[in-house]
Amino acid sequence: MQLPADPEILIVGPGSMGLMHAALLARAGRHVTLLDHRPERAAALSRVGIRVRGAAGDFRVSIPVVSDASDAASPDLVVFLVKAHSTSAALAHARDAFRPDTVLLTLQNGLGNYELLVEFAGSDRVLGGTTSSGAYRPGDGEVFVAAIGDMRIGGSEVVLPVADAICALFSDAGLPAQTSDDLQSLLWHKATVNAGINPLGALAGVRNGVLLEVPALRLLLRGLVEEAVDVASRAGVRLDGDMVAAVEEVACRTAENRCSMLQDLEASRPTEIRQISGHIAAVGLQQGGSGWLNETVHKLVEAAECRWHGAETEQT
């Protein structure tokens, strides 16, 4: 399997990460279309374009934005950047754009997204990956890039050569990327970082750095991370190095950030707690080990969501 030299790319999701990746690829001269599930917002984005500020520079680009997948140019590559709880809905929404040889890539948070895409399309044309870039959306059509980090992409041996071409595309666009031959370790490493930081930041209502300053929060962070590492090991996934130190380093480096889960709670949006802490806990309990601490914060965040019963799930 090969990717054309100048592929058609479809980005699914007009949230901060979707806007950032679409805009940087477009600035690099790539053919990019953005898929939004809201027709009114899609029309507005098509009309005014995307404004980018921050670590990626200050610029504006025009990108075709569609709400009907059948209106998208036949894509060679589809990149999923919706919230993890919207993966199934986003896949159903985007499927009319797919060809039999379209490559699907998830760069989402949480666990289970890659498996959902594989169930739909097969492992021979699905890739998974992680990114440490950070961005937020001041408003529709605007994205502030807080930091540009590394991207890692992997998949089955059949599709892994395509990952090299995709990494080159992203790297040329200013998003450093490289392939990995151990996708599950990549995904579990990112999920463990998120499991240690996001639920505690959301429940305590604090910036990431406070998790290291308050002894009770730091102790809980350690417990959540150690439990996640144990669950990963029982599931046959090896996480090398001192993961507690790694997560604390991320919290230190992003000390002024308010994690996405906290932002979601404050904005009355569904969080990704089920695909992070909930998934880790479920695997741990299935494997006969511990998952109770991750399950506890899972249920606490779900309880915090109860204050806005009936809120609409967003694919952003």
φ, ψ for residue 66, nearest 5 deg:
-125, 155
> Tens of pLDDT along 109-153?
999 999 999 999 999 999 999 998 888 888 888 999 988 989 999
Active-site annotation holder among 30, 37, 190, 298: 190
CA dist 28 and 236 (Å) reads 39
Backbone angles phi, psi at 272, to 5 degrees: -100, 20
Residue entry with tokens 């991207």: 151
Q: What end-to-end distance do the CA atoms of the chain give, in Å?
A: 30
> How much of the chain is in helix, strand and coil states, percent to nearest 5?
50, 15, 35
Is 190 considered catalytic here? yes
pLDDT tens digit string along 203-230? 999 999 999 999 999 999 999 999 999 9
Report the C-alpha gap between 213 and 211 in whole angstroms: 6
Domains of the chain from N-terminus onward: 8-181 (3.40.50.720), 184-308 (1.10.1040.10)
- The model's pTM is 0.92
pLDDT in tens, 149-200: 899 999 999 998 999 999 999 999 999 999 999 999 999 999 999 999 999 9
